[in-house]
Amino acid sequence: MAFGQKFQDVTAKGSPASLSIKIDSDGPYVAIRNNSKKGILAYLAVTKTTDERGQSVPCRSRADHAFKPSVLGPKEENPLPCPIDLRDPPDDPSKPNAKIADVFSAVLFVQFEHGTTWDDLQTGKQAILDDRPKRLACLKHLAETYYESGDDAFNAMLIDPKLQGLERKIAIHLKVAADYDKTPAIDLVRKQLAAGQGWHASGIF
């Protein structure tokens, strides 16, 4: 696949970030690059992959470094978790990749480490910023459960079938990340909570 001919970054002019195709051992992916002189605290991007049959798969990527150890620094890159290869059915690795016709990507929203934003603030609020207080409260509740009731109660919260919405997403992410990093989920909670509380105390929330 000639990505140079088939990939387009259609981000609005003046964006502090750009998108490009990269390839590693797992295959091709879209990466976001911070082209500004300021650290990026959060961003939202969209990728649409279309195959030769006209089948399109849109994917929204969001990242909030308010709950991570560091921001996306100047000239740094992050991969977007959107698949570039298309399979039919998409979850069957035995099926050959569909031939890609086009890949379009665009950065929709950026928040800098000083709190200023670029482009679609309303979309950024709906996708990222409005969830921050809820995420912080959920992490705090998980930590309090661990310290007050122990590991069993904490783990039970992560698999509680009654969880919905953002709480369910957080629980799933913690379990997956803990398994991948081979680290206790409570350690991830501590790190994310500390980062979130730091940004909250700074007034950028």
CATH of domain 3-126: 2.60.40
Task: Give tens-digit pLDDT for 120-165.
Answer: 999 999 999 999 999 999 999 999 999 999 999 999 999 999 999 9
Q: Where are the domains of the chain?
A: 3-126, 130-202
Q: 62, 101, 109: which is closest to 84 by C-alpha? A: 101
Residue type, 40: I
Distance between alpha carbon 128 and the CA centroid of its chain, in Å?
A: 10
Q: What is the pLDDT of residue 96?
A: 57
pLDDT at 97 over 90: no
Tokens 């990728």 label which residue? 47
Quote the pTM value. Answer: 0.85
Q: Which segment, 1-15, 53-67, 72-86, 145-159, is predicted with the most confidence on average?
A: 145-159
